[in-house]
Structure 1
Amino acid sequence: MIMSPFCIGPPDNDFDTSSLQRCRDILYINIFDELHVDQPKTDHERDQIIRERIARNWLGSIKIPFSNVYVNGRLEGAYRLDVPTPLLGYSRDKVSVTKMEATNVISPTSVLRMFITMEPLLAPPEAVQQSFDSTESLELLNYARFWVSDLNQKFPNRDYKATVSDINGRAVFIPRFLRPLPLPQLGLTGTDATSAAAAGVGVDNQIICQQLARFVSLIPFLSDTVIFPGLCDIWETSDQFLRTMSGDDEEHAVLLNNYFLTLNKNSWIAMGVSIYSGPCCFVLTKEPGQRYAICWSVADGRDASTIDTWNPIRSIYLLANQENIWANIQEQDIPSRMNFDVENSKNWRPFFSRSFPRDTLPWTSVQPSDLHYENTRTEDVNILHVQIQDMLRRKMVDWREANVTSWHHVFQKRLQDIIKRGSIANGTDIEAVLAEFRNTYNIVGFALQMPYTTIQAIVDTVYSTNIYKHATNDIQFALAVHIHPYPNNILAVWIYMAHLTPK
């Protein structure tokens, strides 16, 4: 067990609860491989002097916003280590065939079991009792209060809800946020695969779902506690979300679920607890005949089965689709121990039932019938590409002020060519292309991928890898930048960095 203290300060060093909720600091947990590298020696020194330097090669990281730690008081679980693919200079261990056949499960990456808290514990934000005007019928609102109150008496630790606040401060029934919505043209497969999938044409539905989850995860996250400190969660409709280009996990989950509905997926908005953020919203899918449900994280676009050990969801207490809401009334709320047959009234309590049928209520969605997508301007992307590349070059020189910073331009150009061909994620292709450099250099490098928010966020991420911390002049660096544009100025940024030392 390792204990590591971190010092984080709120804006203006103000420890008021509203100020603490606005703190946007990120907690970086980075994993390094520490090596002792021989330094060059003269011939007469070779047998008499040992000269080494310590090198720390970055292997991966975990990012956790401070606001998540503050709001929840503590976070605990097995955190998935974000290991770049490929990781030049390193190779992954293969899972043995015997283990694969025995468990039928392959862990895709490494995990760290961590417990995160604050010392001293700070006063948590006060819970807000939501009481708003509403366009819902009085009959529905009264029953919603009874339904939630009755559930809370039986399961006080589960945050059941039937209505949420929209951007105008009105209470809205959750299913009214859910309806099929037009898909964006992602253009990742050479054709408009998303439109083809929606039309039922022969396209791999799972691949399209992963592309859509990736697209949604690239929209910047901004917690409601930052925008509206001291207030409750605010839910935007999907068109409002795409206009503001920032939102909490609720907006991301609603948009992804609405995309899945267009693909005729059997999907729900799910509410539960994540090891990363505490209370959260995500998307859950389970097709007929599928043994285990799938949890779709809107933070990174990854999907995980409910039985996967690296699934970040710790508990699930509510499911909702465009027809109804179901409350988990099972004794267990751990996903791997739950039954997800919502038709089983012993495990799931529906909002609409025989005692309170839906047919008697007026029903319209708050979502629009269409979404507006705009193509991202290539000129703007090219300008941003140059700005990011120039900024990182200058920062590398600043960070290495005690040493010379030199660039291997031939290797750098080769990296940029690889990225343009779209084979950045194929480690085998990269190793083959760069084989000519292996004869004369030891090469260590990695690819960082992230949604674009600000250039400073990119600089902070690169800085956290410590790639600049090599106390020698006998080293060269390479940097390549790629930006993949999506509709509505949503951008995926790839930063490839490497360092080369002579053999």
Structure 2
Amino acid sequence: MVVRATNIPVRSEELTQTSSRKSSTATAPASKFMPFKSMSSHPHVFVTISLKDHHLSSRTSSAEGTNPMWNEQLKLPFNLKSDATKRVLSIDLYDEVVEDLVDNVTEVYQRISSKWLGSLKIPLAHIFTNQRIEGMFEMTIPTVLLGYTKPTFAATDQGYQTNNSEGLPHMSKKTHINLFISLEPNAEIPRMMSNGLECIEIELVERQIKMWFEQLKLEFPSRVTKWSPLITLLTGKRACITRLLHPLKFPFDKNDEMTEFKIRRFVSLIPLQNDASPSNSCCSGLNGVWLSNTQILGLMTSSNKDLGVLLTCYYLELGYPSWLILGSSNTCGECCYVLMRKSSEFFIIDPASGKKYSSKDVYCPLTSCFCLVNQYNVWANIQREQRIFMMQFDVNRSFDWRPMFQKVVDIPKETIHDVTFRYERSFHVKDLQQTIQAKIVKKINSWRSHKKTIWNRYVCENLKQILEKLEDDVCFENDFDDHAEMLKALYVNYKITGYTINNKYTNLSSIVNDIKNTGIHLNLDSKVEFASSVYIKEYANNVLSIWIFLMSLTPKM
């Protein structure tokens, strides 16, 4: 069920006035079609859902405004016997735009085109495991989205005044979509039973852990079903979860004031394993297999919980009071986030995206918190209030958090990580960069086999310079609106549409699928020119940030 969306980008003046300019240049009668109201700055938004490498898709009707509402049910069949659980459900936002096409000096035709605005990707593994998910999901909007601007609003005596017809205040600057997703019929993934595995802890510690956990089960049975303080290692043995946390060195200068941004960016670019098939389910979820730092950076694949562990260790090395949060989110189900305290304020970090939220942010994707962990103890959440933004995170409050270890028990301190791990330089990425660029050109040419595709090489060089700056802007959370204004000033004689795509590197097919979803190749104007550029920022141990800029340029009449 697609319910509604908030804070959709609005059309810029350039896009909304294109039609009127074209009509005035031709001494033609009125269009053969009824005028469409979408010439205003308000977008006409619709939502599509699709699966990667899956030819079926479904879409909603279009709704006008920056806070559109649909309340429509979409269905998408898939076969569980195939490799569907390895796929990702892609939810894309588009704007329906009516463009005037001047056929000759006497006739003007109208064409409806779709402009891609952003996407949300949810692993089918998450849906398969949880059967049903719902809530507000944050959309990924391109860093540079040519032809669109962010909705603006100003404070008034009565509250907030927006520039949209609904008159609703924007509670967040980010775009969100309200979804209800379910799987029918229900299916279950077999869980790994690790209770019989050998435990490396001494008998006194193991007994204390089990007694504490059994007491929690009696008092809070619904809060302890998805996690355990004894975790399973890749060696096939069990250990106390506190052994996962220890200050670890990172591949950046510790004294650099921007290092906190860099470690978040670095961890967020490590590829995730989204496969929930029975053969791989033992690695997913909080009761699955936990990896060490050498295994994460050596295998270059991990689960969300492993990224949370690695980022917490980096924060401990920086000297921040930090805890690992075991909980669940609406985007990936069972997961680990990072709780960090700076001065007297608490922040929650999503290790998979690198985004940092205030603990009071109502839009934080973390939906539940089972416990907090650091290298010294485990604290179970016993608060009555379960909403994250209303929760107290001071572990010294005994009526909110229950510690696992008391002073009478020696806490396991030896970590499972390799504290002497040495980072290596990444391989040269120039060949990969050229391969991706050639693949993009080849695919767009094949998708437009019925039309001649013209590539503007001069524009490609300008785009590459912008991409190099965008990596730093995103990493350090700088403002990047100037890039769109610069491109608009450079190509004043063109009507331009363009997007940036930024992803961690997994494979070429994922990149091609993301490009095809934008629909930029569907421009049917006979004079349209295309430009694309690829930039790869390499970090240590072959952790890569892939940047792609796509643009179409149509000469103005």
Which bin holds the TM-score, normalised by the shorter protein? 0.7 to 0.9
Matches within 5 A, 1:219-368: 219-223=270-274, 225-226=276-277, 228-231=279-282, 232-290=287-345, 293-353=346-406, 357-359=408-410, 363-368=413-418
Deviations 1:237-259 (A, max 9, x none): 11221111111112111110010
Contact 2:145 2:484 in 1 (8 A): no
Name the SS of the counterpart of 1:136 in structure 2: coil
Contact 1:239 1:372 in 2 (8 A): no
- Compute the RMSD of aligned alpha carbons: 2.3
The 3 A distance-change label for structure 1 pair 434 and 105 is closer
Matches within 5 A, 1:166-245: 166-185=233-252, 194-197=253-256, 203=257, 207-223=258-274, 225-226=276-277, 228-231=279-282, 232-245=287-300
Deviations 1:192-228 (A, max 9, x none): xx3214xxxxx2xxx4222211110101101474584
The 3 A distance-change label for structure 1 pair 72 and 468 is same
CA separation in 1, counterparts of 2:412 and 2:366?
35
Name the SS of the counterpart of 2:222 in structure 1: coil
Alignment-derived partner of residue 200 in structure 2: 135
Alignment-derived partner of residue 148 in structure 2: 90
Alpha-carbon distance, 1:317 to partner: 1.4
Q: Percent identity?
A: 29
Name the SS of the counterpart of 1:157 in structure 2: helix
Matches within 5 A, 1:373-452: 373-378=423-428, 381-420=429-468, 426-438=480-492, 440-452=493-505
Alignment-derived partner of residue 189 in structure 1: none
* Aligned-partner residue type, residue 195 of structure 1: K
Q: Is 1:30 paired with 2:92?
A: yes
Alignment-derived partner of residue 56 in structure 2: none
Name the SS of the counterpart of 2:491 in structure 1: helix
CA separation in 1, counterparts of 2:274 and 2:96?
36
Alpha-carbon distance, 1:3 to partner: 1.9
Contact 1:403 1:472 in 2 (8 A): no
Alpha-carbon distance, 1:288 to partner: 4.2
Mark the runs of 5 or more structure 1 residues left unpaired by the alignment: 186-193, 198-202
* Aligned-partner residue type, residue 490 of structure 1: V
Alpha-carbon distance, 1:60 to partner: 0.6
Name the SS of the counterpart of 1:59 in structure 2: strand
The 3 A distance-change label for structure 1 pair 269 and 247 is same
Alignment-derived partner of residue 546 in structure 2: 493
Alpha-carbon distance, 1:325 to partner: 0.3
* Aligned-partner residue type, residue 77 of structure 1: G
Contact 2:128 2:276 in 1 (8 A): no
Matches within 5 A, 1:139-154: 139-154=204-219
Alpha-carbon distance, 1:97 to partner: 4.5
Matches within 5 A, 1:28-107: 28-43=90-105, 45-46=106-107, 50-97=108-155, 107=172
Contact 1:62 1:81 in 2 (8 A): yes
Under a length normalisation based on structure 1, what TM-score does the superposition of the two structures give? 0.87
The 3 A distance-change label for structure 1 pair 423 and 328 is closer
Deviations 1:341-375 (A, max 9, x none): 10111110000125xx333x563222222222111
The 3 A distance-change label for structure 1 pair 430 and 110 is closer
The 3 A distance-change label for structure 1 pair 27 and 422 is closer
Alpha-carbon distance, 1:149 to partner: 1.9
* Aligned-partner residue type, residue 330 of structure 2: I
Out of 157, 160, 181, which is 1:116 matched to? Answer: 181
* Aligned-partner residue type, residue 366 of structure 2: I
Deviations 1:155-185 (A, max 9, x none): 2221342110000111110111111011113
Contact 2:349 2:356 in 1 (8 A): yes
Under a length normalisation based on structure 2, what TM-score does the superposition of the two structures give? 0.79
Alpha-carbon distance, 1:267 to partner: 0.6
Contact 2:533 2:550 in 1 (8 A): yes
The 3 A distance-change label for structure 1 pair 424 and 471 is farther
* Aligned-partner residue type, residue 223 of structure 2: R
Contact 1:29 1:61 in 2 (8 A): yes
Contact 1:100 1:106 in 2 (8 A): no
Q: Higher relative contact order by CA 8 Å / sep ≥ 6: 1 or 2?
A: 1
Deviations 1:409-441 (A, max 9, x none): 222222123334558852314422541312x21
The 3 A distance-change label for structure 1 pair 408 and 375 is same
Alpha-carbon distance, 1:448 to partner: 0.7
The 3 A distance-change label for structure 1 pair 90 and 424 is farther
The 3 A distance-change label for structure 1 pair 387 and 411 is same
Name the SS of the counterpart of 1:153 in structure 2: helix
Alignment-derived partner of residue 475 in structure 1: 528
* Aligned-partner residue type, residue 299 of structure 2: T
CA separation in 1, counterparts of 2:490 and 2:539?
35
CA separation in 2, counterparts of 1:229 and 1:243?
18
Contact 2:371 2:381 in 1 (8 A): yes
Alignment-derived partner of residue 4 in structure 1: 74
* Aligned-partner residue type, residue 110 of structure 2: E
Deviations 1:121-141 (A, max 9, x none): 232123443211121112222
Name the SS of the counterpart of 1:253 in structure 2: helix
CA separation in 2, counterparts of 1:494 and 1:7?
32
The 3 A distance-change label for structure 1 pair 78 and 372 is same
Name the SS of the counterpart of 1:478 in structure 2: strand
The 3 A distance-change label for structure 1 pair 447 and 362 is closer
The 3 A distance-change label for structure 1 pair 239 and 449 is same
